[in-house]
Structure 1
Amino acid sequence: MGEYATLYALAKMNGRQAYILPEMHRQLAPLFRITLPVVSGDVVRSVPWRNYGLHDWMSEEYRHIKGKYVRLTGYPCSWTFYHHLRQEILQEFSFHDHVKEEANRYLAGLRGQRRNVTYVGVHVRRGDYVWVMPQVRKGVVADKAYLEKAMGYFRAKYQEPVFVVTSNGMEWCRENIDASRGDVYFSGDGKESLPGRDFALLAHCNHTIMTIGTFGKWAGYLAGGETVYLANYTLPNSPFLKIFKPAAAFLPEWIGIDADLSPLLNGTQRQKRPSPQSLSPSLARLVRCNRTFGGGRSRGWCQAKAGELVTD
C-alpha cells in the first residue's frame, strides 16, 4: 500500500503516467478499488527502465525525476509522500462492497446491548518481528504493558469502547491481553484470521492501536480516528534508524507511547532465530544481506520494485 500510494503521488508530482506490476495488483485488487493500470510482464521485460531508488521519506529531488521509463525501487511508506493527496489515496483504497459489508456485519455483532459503542482496532505485530527486532534492528516489539496503556487511554476517554484484536501471534495476545472486562474480542475466534479480513476490520473501526509495522499503520490511516502507536522502540544506535525516520512514519497528531527497552538493555530479550521460510519476504531479503541496513551493494540487492513511471 505504501508503494502504491507513493507511486501514485510521485507520478502526479512529475506529470507522469503510473503503472503497477501484476504482483501488486494481485495483492491489492481483491480488497480495494484501485485505478492504476497494470503493466504486463512482457512490457516489463522489454522496456529499458531506469531504476530509481527511494528512501522512506519525501525529498525535494523526487519532484524532478528524470528519464522516460523509470522504475521506482525501495520500501516507501511515509505519509510525507502522499498525505497532501489524502482524499485521493483514501479513494484508491476504498474497499469493495462485499468487503465493507462483511467487516461492518462483524462489528455490528459485537455491539450487544451497548448504545454508545466506540470500536478500537488493535493490531499486534508478532511473527518474524519477535526475532528480527532484537537481533537485527536492536529494537523491541510491543509488550503487555504497552497494550494495557493504549487500551487504558481509550477506556478513560470513551464510555463504551470495544477492542477488536488482530494479530499474526494470536496465542500470545490471548495470554497477554486482559479480556475479563468483556470489551475485548479476538478476531477469527481467537485464531489467526486472513490478513485481508483483519485489515478490513481494523480500517472500519473508529480508532486504532498499532504496535509496529505498516499493516497497523495503514489501518490507522484508513480508519481516520485517533491512532496510538509504539514509539521509540529501537536503541539510539539501531541500524534501522539509518533508513527509518519516525517523524516521517507517524502522523504528528498520532499518539506515541514509549516502548520499554529494558529487556533489550538487560540482554534478556533473546529469541530463537526463525527459519527463512517463516520470515516475511521483505525481512527474509534483509536477513540474507551481509550489511542489512548499511548501504552499498547489499542495500541495492535488498530493494523491491515499487512501480513504474512513464512519460506520455
Structure 2
Amino acid sequence: MTTAAKIVRFLVFFGAINLTILVWYSDTFKRVGNFHPPEMEIRKSLLKTETALRTAREEKPTPSNWGSDMTQSHLRGNISTSNKITATTPGSLDREHSAREIKPNTLKTKTESEQNMREAHRFVSPDMEAALEKRSKSWINSTGLFIMTGVFGRTGNRMFEYASMYGIAKRNNMTPVLLANAEVRRVFRIPDYIPHSLPPGVKLVKFHEMKYAFYDNRTETLYKKGQSVQLLYYLQSWKYFHNVEDDLKQHFRFRKEAEFRREINAFFDIALLELGMNIKRDKVTYIGIHARNWKDLHTNAHERGYNVAPSSYYTKAMRYFENIYKNILFIVLSDDMSWCKKNVQHPRIRYNPFNDSILSLALLGSCNHTIMSVGTFSWWGAWLAGGDVVYFKDWPKPGTYLWWRTNHEDYFPPNWVGISG
C-alpha cells in the first residue's frame, strides 16, 4: 500500500508539472484576438502557406539567379533611424516611458524644396535602380539559407511581417522569400530580386516570437542554426528592420502610385478650395489623423487591453502640431467616421472620402505628419508619411493581457511622441 501511495503521489506531482508547463506555453505563444490567433487559425494559416508554396513551386521553376536583386534606397531627405539599437533587454518593461516634448520656438511650414524632397522617394530612375541592385548582392543568398513568414492578419500586420523578415534576413545573410500571390506584392512594388518561391527541397524550421510587441534578440543569430526558417507570428517592432529602412521605403511604394497621387491631389485641392485657403497645395502642412475605434473586434477586446483613444487625445495632439506648424490641414481617417465628425473637429479639417482601404493608407502616408491611434494600419500610415508622429500613450490598457505583451520602446520608434488622452 505504501508503494502504491507513493506512485499515486508521483503521478499527481508529475501531472501538475505538465499542466504548469502547458499553461506557460499557451500564455507565451498563443495569440489572442486580432494579434493572437487561436490555434486552429494558426494551423489553417500554416496550411495555407504550405499549400501556396507547393503551388508556387509547380507553377514557376526555381530561378537560376537567386542572388539577383534591385535593392533601393529612399531619397526623402530625412535621416533614417540609427543602425544602433538602444540597449534594452527584450523582456524589459518601462511603464514610465515618457515622450520627448518638442519645444516649439518658431512656427514652421513646408517649403517647396522640402516638399519635393519628401516626395522624391516615390520616383526611382533606372540608373538608381541599377546602383541599388548592385548594393544588395553582398548579402542576398550569401549563406544559401532562406527565410519567410506565415500569412497572418491584414495589410498592416503583413507589412510588419515582410519588413521584419527582410531586416532579419539581412542581419543573418539569409535570402528573404515572399510568395508570388502575397498581398504585399499585389499592393506594393516589392522588387523582383526577392524570390517568389522556395527552391525545391528546402525545408523550413519554424521560429516563434516570444511576445506580441517585444523585440526578440534571438532573431539576430538565426544563421547559427544553419537551417532555413519560417518566422511566426507578427514581429511588430521597428528594431527588426531599422537596419533596412532605406530599402523598405522603396519596397513600400504603391503599385497604383500614379493613380493614387491624382486622386489624393484632387482631394487636397477641393479641401483647400472649400476651406477658402488661398494657398498652393505644396505650401500646406498636412496632418493625417487616424482614429480607430476597434469596431470589428470581439466584445471582450477591451478587457484584454484593446482600448481606444478618447476625443481629448486628438484635441491635445492637434494643439501640439498647431504650436509647431502653420498653414495646417488636418485629414481624418477612421473605421468610425460618424464618431469622428462629432468628436474630432477643427476649423481646418477634412474627412477621408475614399472607401478603398489601400488608397486610404496612401492618403495617410501622403501627409507630412501623423496623429495615430491604435493598430498596425495607423502605425504604417505614420511610418510611410515620415515627419513628426504623435501616438496614443495610454495603449494598451494598463494591467491587461495585451499590456504585458507590449513594450512601447520596442513598438514605437524613439523619435515618435507619446501623448495621453
Q: Secondary structure at the match of 1:228?
A: strand
Quote the offset at 1:47 in angstroms. Answer: 5.0
In the alignment, the residues of structure 1 paired with residue 291 and residue 412 of structure 2 have an alpha-carbon distance, to the nearest angstrom, of: 17
Give distance in 2, aligned partners of 1:132 and 1:208. 29
Structure 2 counterparts to residues 12-91 of structure 1, below 5 A: 12-22=170-180, 25=182, 27-35=183-191, 36-39=194-197, 47-55=202-210, 56-65=213-222, 66-91=225-250
Please tell me the residue identity of whatever aligns with 1:134: H
Task: Output the CA distance in 2 between the equivalents of 1:17 and 1:75.
Answer: 19
1:218-254 per-residue CA deviation (whole Å, 9 max, x = no partner) reads 1111111111110022343211133211111111111
Assess, with a 3 A threshold, how the Cα gap between structure 1 residues 204 and 11 changes in structure 2: closer, same or farther: same
Partners of 1:111 and 1:37 in 2: CA distance:
44
Q: 2:290–2:378: 8 Å Cα contact kept in structure 1?
A: yes
Say if 1:125 and 1:212, in contact at 8 Å, map to a contact too: yes
Aligned to 1:76, what secondary structure does the other structure show? coil
Identity of aligned residues (%): 30
Shift of 1:194: 1.6
Greater strand proportion = 1
Please tell me whether the aligned partners of residues 2 and 75 of structure 1 are also in contact (alpha carbons under 8 angstroms): yes
Instruction: Give the C-alpha shift of residue 147 in structure 1.
Output: 1.0
1:184 aligns with 2:342: no
Give the counterpart letter for 1:9 in structure 2. G
Cα deviation per residue 1:53-79 (whole Å; 9 max; x = unaligned)? 124343332121124331111111211
Q: Where does residue 162 of structure 1 map in the other structure?
A: 329
1:243-262 matched pairs, under 5 angstroms: 243-259=405-421
Q: Which residue, out of 94, 112, 123, partners 2:253?
A: 94
Asked if 2 retains the 8 angstrom alpha-carbon contact of 1:130 and 1:141, the reply is no
Q: Work out the CA distance in 2 between the residues paired with 1:58 and 1:140.
A: 22
Shift of 1:174: 1.5
How big is the shift at 1:95?
2.3
Cα displacement (A) at 1:157? 2.3
**2:266: which partner in 1?**
105
- 8 Å CA contact 1:20–1:37 kept in 2: the answer is yes
Letter in 2 for 1:245: N
Tell me the alpha carbon deviations over residues 251-273 of structure 1, each in whole angstroms, 9 at most, x when there is no partner.
Answer: 111111113xxxxxxxxxxxxxx
Equivalent positions of 1:174-213 (< 5 A) are: 174-179=341-346, 181=347, 183-188=348-353, 193-213=355-375
Q: Which has the larger radius of gyration?
A: 2
Answer whether contact 2:168 2:220 (CA < 8 A) is retained: yes
Gaps in structure 2 of 5+ consecutive residues: 1-158
Aligned letter for 2:234? Y
1:200-225 deviation per Cα after TM superposition (whole angstroms, max 9, x unaligned) = 00001000010011111111111111
Alignment-derived partner of residue 113 in structure 2: none
Aligned counterpart in structure 2 of residue 6 of structure 1, from 164, 167, 174? 164
Corresponding residue number in structure 2 for 1:135: 303
- Name the SS of the counterpart of 1:237 in structure 2: coil
Deviations 1:270-303 (A, max 9, x none): xxxxxxxxxxxxxxxxxxxxxxxxxxxxxxxxxx
CA distance, structure 2, for counterparts of residue 236 and residue 101 of structure 1: 43
TM-score normalized by structure 2? 0.55
- Tell whether the 8 Å contact from 1:32 to 1:94 is kept in structure 2 after alignment: yes
**How is 1:270-309 mapped onto 2 (pairs within 5 angstroms)?**
none
- Residues 30 and 111 from structure 1, CA distance in 2 versus in 1: closer, same or farther, beyond 3 angstroms? farther
SS in 1 for 2:387: coil
Q: Distance in 1 between matches of 2:391 and 2:166?
A: 26
SS of residue matched to 1:171: helix
Aligned residue identity for 1:72? L
Contact 1:209 1:227 in 2 (8 A): yes
Structure 1 pair 108–130 and aligned structure 2 pair: CA distance change class (3 A)? farther
2:286 to 112, 119, 127: 119
In 2, the alpha carbon distance for the partners of 1:175 and 1:204 equals: 25
Which residue is equivalent to 1:214?
376
Q: Report the secondary structure of 2:285's partner residue.
A: strand
Q: Corresponding residue for 2:391?
A: 229
- Contact between 2:166 and 2:244, CA under 8 Å: does it hold in 1? no
Q: Could you say if the C-alpha distance between residues 114 and 79 of structure 1 is closer, same or farther in structure 2, counting changes exceeding 3 Å?
A: farther
Tell me how large the CA RMSD over aligned residues is.
Answer: 2.3
Query: Match for residue 318 of structure 2?
Result: 151
Distance 1:207 1:58, change over 3 A: same
Q: Find the aligned partners of 1:143 and 1:14 in 2 and give their Cα distance.
A: 42
Contact 2:292 2:336 in 1 (8 A): yes
Q: Distance in 1 between matches of 2:393 and 2:254?
A: 29
- Whole-angstrom CA distance in 1 between matches of 2:396 and 2:264: 34
Deviation track 1:77-97 (CA, whole Å, cap 9, x = no partner) reads: 211111222111111112233
Amino acid at match of 1:54: E
